Amino acid sequence: MNEKSSSEPVAPIFRVIAWGWSLAGGLFGRLVVAGLIAIACGFFLLTALMMRYGIPWAYIVYAEAPYQNFFLGLLFLFLAWLVGKGWRSPAREWRRFLGKGAMLLVSLVLSFAAGELLVRALLIRNQEQNSLDRLKHLRAAGKKLPVRSSHPMAHIIEPSDHSRLVYELQPNLDMLFGHRRLRTNADGMRDDRDYPVDKPAGVIRILGLGDSGMFGWGVHQGEEYMAVLRSNLNMRADGERYEVMHVAVPGYNTQLEVESLRVKGLKYKPDIVVVGWCDNDFSLPFFMLEKENFRRRDVSYLHLLLFDRPRFIHLMAGAHFRDLRDFDRNKVAEELLAGEDVSGVRDAFRELAAMGEAHGFRTLVFGAMRREAEQICEEVGLPYFNIRRRIPADRYPPEWAVHFMHPRAEGHAALAGYLESELVRLGWLLPR
């Protein structure tokens, strides 16, 4: 019985304890056992405390280098087996051990590959469900694609239900933005009031399309030039009533401005449309939607699910809004890329002119224009007012920034006066 018991394999850890016991007597053995127990208890207590106070203990234990630690653990298990019994095992046992190791490795590879394919399939399905065409359904369910950007504008915009509009101002805002009061109405216009869709009798409606210049970047509510124009017109006492509104959104280019007219503006049946021109209208919009490529081969989504959960959750939406500093042109829809440069502006202005003919409104392009923008207006047949040519550079103090894309409040007031005079000169308004 004793010989059979002595021939049975003993776990390496107990061999170490027995070795310590026999080497230094019972006291040393007890100290070894007590030390091991104390280390184990201390480790679990430390882990529990770190979990209790939100310290990422998992990164310390395994997640900082998961594959390295995993295979290192397998190596230690192999060494433990080798020291315990492998060094005196026959060749048959070695072959069996190596066969089990190969099966384990193949199983891990196949399991990881199957898991990767399953995760990608779920992500692709989730992306299709969260496509722009279904944003309206997501919004109705209280779900929205987040705007991920460090730019302050991310706090005042939201994804649009309309794929070609991309993003728009949040409705019903009442906040400080850049230390300036910002309010939006129920339709996402920077305005203090809502407008009835049906135009009242005897009212002349003027609608503005623009970006941050017309929006009034850096000025208080009511100081942007379209709001000043509204005040000026309604003080004329010329027998007419005027409603002046604008759907300007920072970062728009001409393509999105025309699209905002189609989506938001036409229902108000404007008599006059003013396009607030800025040279960056030749560029892409400031925010764009990127679609994640879940078929790419340079990243493992199963790895992100297991070891980088915040990034995985970020990618689950399948599409993200990024600002001009970060987005990848290769992930942007082709129809939006077509809106940049001279050809994109020309196409947008042609569409705008056709909409004017179809819906009976007049259009004026107003802003600091390069010669290319003037040529497009002349080619399409749209009247324009080039601030650079019509307002001398030395007429106003430089700090008013009249010729800059973001004028100060005094600059907006001056621009409102020129805009009113030009509309009178064109015969679209009664003279004072």
pLDDT tens per residue across span 234-277: 998 888 899 999 999 998 999 999 999 999 999 999 999 999 99
**Is residue 408 a part of any domain in this protein?**
yes
Cβ(287)–Cβ(323) below 8 Å: yes
Q: 237: domain CATH number?
A: 3.40.50.1110
Is 307 part of any domain?
no
| Pick from 321, 316, 266, 263: nearest CA to 290 | 321
Angle at 220 between CA 215 and CA 223, to 5 degrees: 70
Whether residue 162 sits in one domain with residue 75: no
- Which residues span the domain enclosing 83? 7-88
309 falls within a domain: no
pLDDT single digits (tens) 292-351? 677 778 888 888 887 777 777 766 655 555 555 555 666 666 666 777 789 999 999 999
Of 40, 71, 88, the residue at which a domain comes to its end is: 88
At 327, give phi and psi (nearest 5°). Answer: -75, 155
Question: Per the domain annotation, does 263 fall within a domain?
Answer: yes
How many domains is the chain built from?
2
Percentage, residues of the chain above pLDDT 70: 70
| Number of residues that this document lists for the chain | 432
Mean pLDDT of the chain: 80
Select from 347, 351, 375, 372 the least CA-distant residue to 363: 351
User: 216 with 340, same domain?
Assistant: yes
pLDDT of residue 4: 44
Domain assignment present for 311: no
Domain termination site, one of 88, 116, 138 = 88
Strands 203-209 and 180-183: unpaired
Same-domain pairing of 360 and 229: yes
Cβ–Cβ < 8 Å for 127, 319? yes
Taking the chain, what is the end-to-end CA distance rounded to the nearest angstrom? 120
Burial (CB count within 10 angstroms: exposed 0-12, middle 13-18, buried 19+), residue 214: buried
Asked if residue 345 and residue 214 are part of one domain, the reply reads: yes
How far apart are the C-alpha atoms of 297 and 316, rounded to whole Å? 17
Instruction: Among 70, 88, 106, identify where a domain stops.
Output: 88
Mind listing the pLDDT tens digit for each residue in 150-180? 567 778 888 787 878 888 999 999 999 989 9
**225 and 356 part of one domain:** yes
**pTM of the entire predicted model:** 0.64
Q: What is the mean pLDDT of residues 68-94?
A: 70
Same structural domain for residues 264 and 344? Answer: yes
